[in-house]
Structure 1
Amino acid sequence: MDDAVLDRSRELVREVASCHDTVEDRTFLELASTYAQDLPRALRQPLNRFRLAEPASLCVVSGWPVDDDRIGPTPTHWESKPVPSPALEEEIFFFLCGSLLGDPLGWATQQDGYVMHDLLPIRGHEQEQLGSSSETVLTWHTEDAFHPYRADYVSLMCLRNPNNVQTTVAAGAAIELDDDVKHVLFEPRFTIRPDESHLPKNRSYAPKQDEISQELLTRSYERIERMNEHPEPIPVLFGDPERPYLRLDPYFMERPRDDEARHALDTLVAAIDRELTGVALRPGELCFIDNFKAVHGRQPFHASYDGRDRWMKRLNIVRDVRKSRDARQQAASRIIV
């Protein structure tokens, strides 16, 4: 962003912040896409092209200044949600930019049903396959690959990254596969189980949304358990055969029982491994990853737990909110249960 774009964006963000003290506010969620249309055209145009033309697998927006003192120390857990947030202006800017691509949604079974997530190291999670891990590689994956209502875009805003920890990304468009391998990958011969972040062991019993009763939340976790015990066979490639979309999460996938499917999956995984690259986001940068066209992960790092560790905000954004209507309490609800 140049100075003019930044100044206009900050003016809008401060105007919105004067009306809403949290991005989780129901009125803000309803108005966010309207507010987003007041962002400068120089921001709206490239994000709209990213959405419509699919020219790349990720889009980075740079130039938002983060006041390191104002946002305060990196929280010790994502459950820490002061209102107003010390990073409210960053959250609003991120949310408005994301709303140009679609509608941000949250999960009843993930981070207490908040729409905006915090990614930060948590003690005891160092070796887990979670966004709150640190010492282990967060294996590349399609975000929420197990679920039919997964996001079209998984998006990050960097608030703090002192060790230049890389977000890893591999674009599906760069992968070349033989037609016979591709044909197998387009068939429903593969299964993916829910990842760790949705499992009952990470349930906090304190959902933030009034609409999420404990009874409803229990049913949501029971649904996740059923998906974990009886995963539905799916293809891992879909869409245009020449430039297919991806849907896989090898860490949570069972090995196919037949040789042909195993060979095809191994070939795809090896091809993605070869294309994997890293992006070290800087404070104030937004990274929108096309969850159909790319996989992503994270390199390991050492967490100090001193209030200065890596801190990202995350949004899951869908282009068609209606497809999840049977899993949301109301038409305007942003929480999948």
Structure 2
Amino acid sequence: MYKLELNADEVRDIERLLDDVEGEFGALDTEESLKLATLHAQELPRDVRARINAFRLGELDGVLVVSGYRVDQERVGPTPGHWRERPEPSTSRREELLLLMIGSLLGDPFAWGTQQDGRLIHDVLPIAGHENEQLGSSSEALLTWHTEDAFHPLRGDFLLLGCLRNPYGAQTTVGYVDALELPESVRDVLFEPRFGIRPDESHLAKNNSDAEGKAFEDIEEMDRAPEPIAVLFGDRNAPFVRADPYFMDVAEGDDEARSALDAFAKAMDDRMFDVVLGDGDFIVIDNYRVVHGRKPFKARHDGTDRWLKRINITVDLRKSRASRPARDDRAIR
């Protein structure tokens, strides 16, 4: 993990930049705001831009944590009880704007029409009733490690999270595919398209307000009959990864694929380590090189719970054009 600690001058420059430009933005999920975020991202401190660019190019570790930004806890107010209950206008608008600027240095933020009602910026927080679900809104269950949106061919290249608060030190877990030592016979199988990944539950109709239309029909089809894919791909000596074991299947009778998947999962389990995000920390995860999850914690549901902001980043927005209703619509449907 590579950690970038902002110094006092960099924090001051970032806060001054937010002061200067915040008034130029309307709703942050519009194409105009995203263009402005890309423009103003180039005014972030030079060293911050240089390190994030190095990370984008794969020159740094697959996990980057940027620390030192200060969150005004009184301004952001209590943690909502549900992502639908986020205050409007957002009390964490400054943090969301900084999130978009950092994301714009990596690529283009995008949304899913089938996740959190198509919002570009997600709220990750514990929801009462989700305690034992395989969702980012769970708490008491182990959120099994995974590639973000592993089931979908248009999944993001990077995942970016900003921590508003984490009072009990809930642990994010991360693991690197590069760190795995696998027998060549297992690696051979993992490079073959013999594995299915079903959509995770955040994309299902039951977890969205308006769950009609072709996008949800496609999700249902992916759930019924996932397309066989390879777990490892790219350079054999430094492979990329696409996996979500909790939602993965192999063809009936393919014992070799099942054994390889089990060996892969055990090897990754043995290599996972913890990252505790504090107030004002931003973490960037390379979604092709690293898997992530979260350890259980006890939610309070009293307005003081862990609260993260999340966006997905693609390095090639054009590849999803056929799945977006319009050029200036960032939601894949």
Shared fold (TM-score, shorter chain, > 0.5): yes
Question: Does the 8 Å CA contact 1:21/1:83 hold for their aligned counterparts?
Answer: no
The answer on 1:177 being equivalent to 2:182 is: yes
CA distance in 1, matches of 2:27, 2:293: 28
- What's 1:336 paired with? 332
Equivalent of residue 129 in structure 2, options 121, 124, 127: 124
In structure 1, stretches of 5+ residues that fail to align are 206-213
CA distance in 1, matches of 2:26, 2:20: 11
Equivalent of residue 220 in structure 1, options 212, 215, 218: 215
Question: Does the 8 Å CA contact 1:144/1:194 hold for their aligned counterparts?
Answer: yes
Equivalent of residue 233 in structure 1, options 223, 228, 235: 228
State the 1:13 CA deviation: 1.5
Equivalent of residue 281 in structure 1, options 277, 283, 297: 277
TM-score scaled by structure 1?
0.94
Aligned residues: 327
Equivalent of residue 249 in structure 1, options 218, 241, 244: 244
State the 1:219 CA deviation: 1.0
Residues 264-299 of structure 1, C-alpha deviation per residue, up to 9 Å, x if partnerless? Answer: 111110110000111010000000010100100001
Equivalent of residue 193 in structure 2, options 185, 188, 209: 188
State the 1:9 CA deviation: 1.2
State the 1:80 CA deviation: 2.0
- What's 1:165 paired with? 170
Residues 99-131 of structure 1, C-alpha deviation per residue, up to 9 Å, x if partnerless? Answer: 100111110000011111000011111111000
CA distance in 1, matches of 2:190, 2:17: 46
CA distance in 1, matches of 2:33, 2:62: 29
State the 1:53 CA deviation: 2.9
Structure with higher strand content: 2
CA distance in 1, matches of 2:302, 2:50: 40
Q: 1:54 to 1:332 in 2, by over 3 A?
A: farther
State the 1:27 CA deviation: 1.4
RMSD of the TM alignment (CA)? Answer: 1.2
CA distance in 1, matches of 2:124, 2:67: 19
CA distance in 1, matches of 2:21, 2:91: 15
Equivalent of residue 301 in structure 1, options 297, 301, 306: 297
CA distance in 1, matches of 2:251, 2:105: 39
- What's 2:286 paired with? 290
Question: Does the 8 Å CA contact 1:32/1:95 hold for their aligned counterparts?
Answer: yes
Question: Does the 8 Å CA contact 2:159/2:312 hold for their aligned counterparts?
Answer: yes
CA distance in 2, matches of 1:226, 1:30: 34
Q: 1:332 to 1:21 in 2, by over 3 A?
A: closer
TM-score scaled by structure 2?
0.96
Equivalent of residue 71 in structure 2, options 49, 66, 70: 66
State the 1:22 CA deviation: 3.4
Report runs of 4+ in structure 1 exceeding 6 Å deviation: none
CA distance in 2, matches of 1:148, 1:37: 30
CA distance in 2, matches of 1:79, 1:160: 18
The answer on 1:143 being equivalent to 2:148 is: yes
Give the residue type in structure 2 aligned to 1:251. Y
In structure 2, stretches of 5+ residues that fail to align are 1-5
CA distance in 2, matches of 1:256, 1:265: 12
After TM superposition, list the pairs within 5 Å mapping 1:21-170 onto structure 2. 21-170=26-175
State the 1:12 CA deviation: 1.5
State the 1:256 CA deviation: 4.3
The answer on 1:264 being equivalent to 2:289 is: no
Identity %: 51
State the 1:234 CA deviation: 0.4
